């Protein structure tokens, strides 16, 4: 889509930036990466009242233009780099009306870069409730830019904001906030002159950030360094001076434009809730209660929709088998592709529910309380209170969670968090656990309320957290720290979750899961189906010849005959040969060659396990009888012992393997991107594989 103008949304964290972005763009948005860095770039399109289209960019939330993390450094690069194709024509600075003072700091910095800017005063419904009276017109007059009152949550003032965006000026109109030049007069003059800059604040920012920004040349950066030495420029002192000057300006501005009661109503309600939720005893009980409830719900709420999806796929497969002519292509499509896909699609309900919970926990502000409560505990094992967010996010997916570790300023804390996050039970493991627990754990209630399967699943989650903590402690002892850690963090007031955002996150995450996992699964299913349907040499022909002999055709019913023949074919197929090759290695863990095939195929992505199982068992099974994967696995019998293949010991051994093994190519890639060093993902892969083998071995021999 071609846009007529580009608008960037900038603001502090927790100001409703994403909500505003969602309202302006609707479902018409896409998530990508900023060039060269792995920061999520959200862009979308918005139709303006004058008929033009605006491209909206949602920039990462930040408290100031001085970045504390990689995410935040994007903001300055996008706003200041004129040669960047993403440079906005207009910046909308979103301001939290309930906390105007701190929010205005970022506004004054952005405004001083002399880009056309307007201010959106958000949460005006809340500020009214709190008794805060803001003279918006006077603020607007003092700043020299349009200020629009909105409430993104309640969808108020959005039309007016769109109008102001449409009729915004092409030239910056904002008044000077502070006299930037007085901070470092000679330095700013010298840099401006040599680099031909007309904006003193831009020159000053370059002096602060020249080492990290990518859009100036090495020669320019070196020259800035020399100028800094010449005028003995001290970055931190200059920042302190600037911040104080900016707050002086803001205090003057707000002195007669904002009237706030001494104690705000919202604050005390929030404090009352916190008395309970961060209580020394109840706080932790409630936290674990919430986690338990979350996992119980994932199990129970998803049962019905899962059944529907599974039945739907069986129905489609049945119909296709009847409609299409029998043959290898039909087999490939129906058993290979659709069979593999169905194994994974049934887990959409769980993924959606999990992401709903995580987005509610973040949206209400509860997650930052958990961070607050856990910091001391986490520090003991070498982590940081802020590690809690990636670890809980790890329940969903390690990839975005590892990216979210960027909020941890301390290098060592961050590395340890990255190293242990993939241990946390992610949503890709969920299908495997659910399948295996469903096979071996009875679906009964204990003490009336707790479902045994739910308890087993909760157990796997708790176990993954414990192992993450232990591994973190080991890394704490090994790694050498480089700098000190910080824990300066805003605690937002409690708010009702924005259900639209929750629904949006459910939709977005399920879609990503289906698209990304789907692609891999179709590819793997096709390859696997070919490998399982053809064998080396003339083995298949020989098997067919063998089963056409009278002692087989007369002594067996046609159904059993097909089954016996298919089973022998599978064993002699390329996949079977492959499985047999690794069988000696995995035999001590209780796995047979079929599970071996699944282990190999799921090394790129765990969720492929279920699809592989589905494909293997459909190739083997008779075509007339369509069953779900779980039924097929339940009836699978070890030909040597006559016992079910998936005994309690095998199922738990498999779960242990999947709990520890680093079977996720995306995680390996993201760890490399985040650490910029191959040794980190290599060490991670190695330690996780060793742990997986050991834990599996122990589990199998204890339960056997």
Partner 1 sequence: MIKLKDNMTLSELEPGSIGIVKEFTDLEMSVKLMEMGCLPGEAVTVCRVAPLGDPIAINVSGYQLSLRKFEASTIILQ
Residue ranges in contact with partner 1 by CB under 8 A: 63-64, 66, 68, 98-99, 101-102, 105, 236-237, 239-240, 243-244, 247, 260, 264, 267, 270-271, 274-275, 278-281, 283-284, 368, 371-373, 375-377, 385, 486-493
* Distant-in-sequence, close-in-space partners of 18: CB < 8 Å, separation ≥ 6: 42, 58, 501
Q: Rounded to the nearest whole angstrom, what is the least distance from the CB of residue 406 to partner 1 in the complex?
A: 16
Q: In the structure encoding, which two tokens stand for residue 276, read together?
A: 């309970």
Contact 121, 150 (CB under 8 A): yes
The string of DSSP letters for 356-379 reads HHHHHHHHHTHHHHHHHHHHHHHH
Nearest to 66 by CA among 184, 221, 245, 240: 240
Compute the least distance from the CB of residue 12 to partner 1, in Å: 10
3-state secondary structure (DSSP) of residue 178: coil
State the nearest-atom distance from the C-beta of 245 to partner 1, in Å: 11
Q: Which is nearer to partner 1, 66 or 693 (CB)?
A: 66
With respect to partner 1, which residue has the nearer C-beta, 12 or 618?
A: 12
Q: How far apart are CA 348 and CA 330, in angstroms?
A: 26
The residues pairing with 120 across neighbouring beta strands, listed in sequence order, are: 94, 148
Nearer to partner 1, 377 or 690 (CB): 377
- Tell the smallest beta-carbon distance from residue 371 to partner 1 (Å): 8
For the chain, the first-to-last Cα distance in angstroms comes to: 60
Q: How far is the CB of 372 from partner 1 (least distance, A)?
A: 5
d(CA 71, CA 78): 12
Q: Measured from the CB atom, is 253 or 493 closer to partner 1? A: 493
Is residue 78 within 8 Å of residue 8, measured between CB atoms? yes
- Count of beta carbons in the 10 Å neighbourhood of residue 37: 15
Instruction: Retrieve residue 245's tokens.
Output: 């000057």
Between 55 and 375, name the residue whose CB sits nearer to partner 1.
375
Nearer to partner 1, 487 or 680 (CB): 487
- Alpha-helical runs (H) found in 196-333: 200-209, 218-230, 235-255, 265-277, 282-323, 328-331
In the complex, the smallest distance separating the C-beta of residue 282 from partner 1, rounded to whole angstroms, is: 9
- Cα–Cα distance, 423 to 370 (Å, whole number): 20
* Of 279 and 587, CB closest to partner 1: 279
Q: Which is nearer to partner 1, 377 or 446 (CB)?
A: 377
Buried b (16+ CB within 10 A) or exposed e, 237-252: ebeeebeebbbebbee
Q: Is 545 exposed, middle or buried (0-12, 13-18, 19+ CB in 10 A)?
A: exposed
Written in H, E and C, the secondary structure of 196-234 is CCCCHHHHHHHHHHCCCCCCCCHHHHHHHHHHHHHCCCC
CB 402 within 8 A of CB 671: yes
In this complex, which beta carbon is closest to partner 1, that of residue 264 or of residue 468?
264
Contacts of 11 (CB under 8 A, 6+ apart): 17, 61, 93, 94, 95, 96, 103, 106
User: Taking the complex as a whole, how short is the minimal distance between the CB of residue 632 and partner 1, in angstroms?
Assistant: 49
CB of 132 to partner 1, least distance (A): 9
How far apart are alpha carbons 539 and 542 in whole angstroms? 5
Q: CB of 271: closest distance to partner 1 in angstroms?
A: 6
Q: In whole angstroms, how close is the CB of 356 to partner 1 at the nearest point?
A: 26
- Of 368 and 453, the one with the shorter C-beta distance to partner 1 is 368
Token match 């959005």: residue? 158
In angstroms, give the least distance from the CB of 44 to partner 1.
29
Report the nearest approach of partner 1 to the CB of residue 139 (Å): 16
């Amino acid at each position: 889509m071609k846009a007529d103008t580009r608008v960037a949304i900038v603001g502090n964290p927790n100001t409703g930036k994403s909500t505003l972005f969602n309202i302006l763009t609707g479902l018409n948005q896409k998530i990508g990466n900023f060039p060269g860095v792995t920061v999520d770039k959200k862009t979308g399109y918005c139709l303006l009242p004058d008929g033009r289209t605006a491209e909206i960019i949602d920039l990462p939330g930040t408290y100031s233009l001085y970045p504390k993390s990689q995410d935040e450094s994007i903001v300055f690069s996008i706003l200041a780099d004129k040669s960047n194709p993403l440079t906005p024509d207009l910046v909308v600075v979103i301001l939290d009306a309930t906390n105007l003072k701190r929010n205005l700091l970022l506004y004054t910095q952005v405004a001083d870069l002399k880009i056309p800017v307007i201010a959106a005063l958000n949460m005006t419904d809340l500020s009214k409730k709190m008794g805060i009276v803001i003279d918006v017109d006077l603020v607007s007059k003092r700043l020299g830019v349009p200020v629009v009152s909105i409430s993104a949550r309640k969808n108020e003032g959005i039309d007016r904001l769109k109008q102001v965006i449409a009729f915004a000026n092409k030239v910056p109109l904002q008044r000077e906030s502070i006299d930037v030049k007085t901070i470092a007069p000679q330095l700013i003059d010298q840099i401006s002159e040599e680099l031909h800059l007309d904006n003193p604040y831009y020159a000053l920012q370059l002096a602060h950030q020249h080492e990290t920004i990518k859009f100036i040349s090495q020669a320019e950066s070196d020259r800035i360094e020399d100028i800094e030495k010449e005028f003995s420029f001290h970055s931190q002192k200059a920042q302190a001076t600037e911040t104080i000057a900016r707050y002086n300006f803001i205090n003057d501005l707000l002195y007669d434009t904002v009237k706030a009661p001494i104690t705000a109503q919202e604050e005390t309600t929030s404090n009352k809730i916190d008395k309970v939720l961060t209580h020394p005893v109840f706080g932790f009980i409630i936290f674990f209660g919430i986690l338990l409830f979350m996992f119980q719900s994932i199990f129970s709420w998803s049962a019905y929709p899962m059944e529907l999806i599974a039945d739907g796929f069986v129905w489609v497969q049945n119909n296709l088998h009847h409609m299409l002519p029998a043959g290898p292509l039909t087999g490939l499509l129906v058993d290979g592709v659709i069979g593999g896909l169905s194994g994974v699609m049934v887990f959409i309900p769980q993924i959606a529910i999990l992401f709903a919970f995580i987005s509610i926990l973040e949206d209400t502000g509860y997650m930052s309380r958990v961070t607050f409560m856990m910091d001391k505990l986490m520090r003991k094992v070498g982590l940081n209170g802020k590690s809690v967010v990636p670890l809980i996010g790890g329940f969903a997916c390690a990839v975005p969670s590892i990216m979210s570790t960027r909020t941890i300023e301390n290098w060592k804390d961050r590395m340890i968090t990255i190293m242990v996050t993939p241990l946390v039970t992610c949503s890709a493991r969920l299908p495997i656990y659910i399948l295996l627990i469903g096979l071996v754990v009875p679906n009964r209630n204990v003490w009336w309320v707790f479902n045994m399967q739910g308890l087993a699943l909760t157990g796997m989650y708790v176990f993954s957290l414990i192992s993450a903590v232990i591994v973190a402690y080991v890394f704490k002892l090994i790694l050498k720290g480089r700098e000190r850690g910080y824990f300066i963090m805003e605690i937002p007031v409690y708010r009702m979750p924005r259900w639209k955002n929750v629904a949006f996150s459910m939709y977005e995450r399920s879609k990503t899961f289906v698209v990304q996992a789907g692609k891999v699964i179709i590819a793997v299913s096709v390859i696997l189906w070919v490998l399982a349907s053809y064998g080396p040499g003339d083995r298949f022909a020989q098997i067919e010849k063998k089963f056409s002999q009278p002692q087989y055709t007369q002594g067996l019913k046609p159904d059993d005959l097909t089954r016996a023949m298919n089973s022998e074919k599978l064993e002699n197929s390329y996949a079977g040969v492959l499985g047999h090759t690794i069988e000696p290695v995995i035999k001590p863990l209780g796995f047979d060659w079929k599970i071996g095939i699944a282990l190999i195929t799921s090394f790129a992505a765990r969720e492929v396990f279920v699809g592989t199982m589905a494909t293997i068992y459909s190739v083997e099974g008779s075509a007339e009888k369509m069953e779900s994967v779980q039924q097929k696995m339940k009836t699978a019998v070890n030909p040597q012992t006559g016992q079910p293949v998936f005994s309690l010991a095998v199922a738990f051994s498999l779960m242990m393997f999947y709990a520890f093994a680093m079977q996720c190519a995306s995680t390996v890639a993201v760890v490399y991107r985040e650490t910029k060093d191959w040794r980190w993902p290599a060490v991670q892969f190695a330690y996780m594989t060793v742990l997986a083998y050991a834990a599996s071995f122990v589990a199998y021999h204890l339960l056997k």
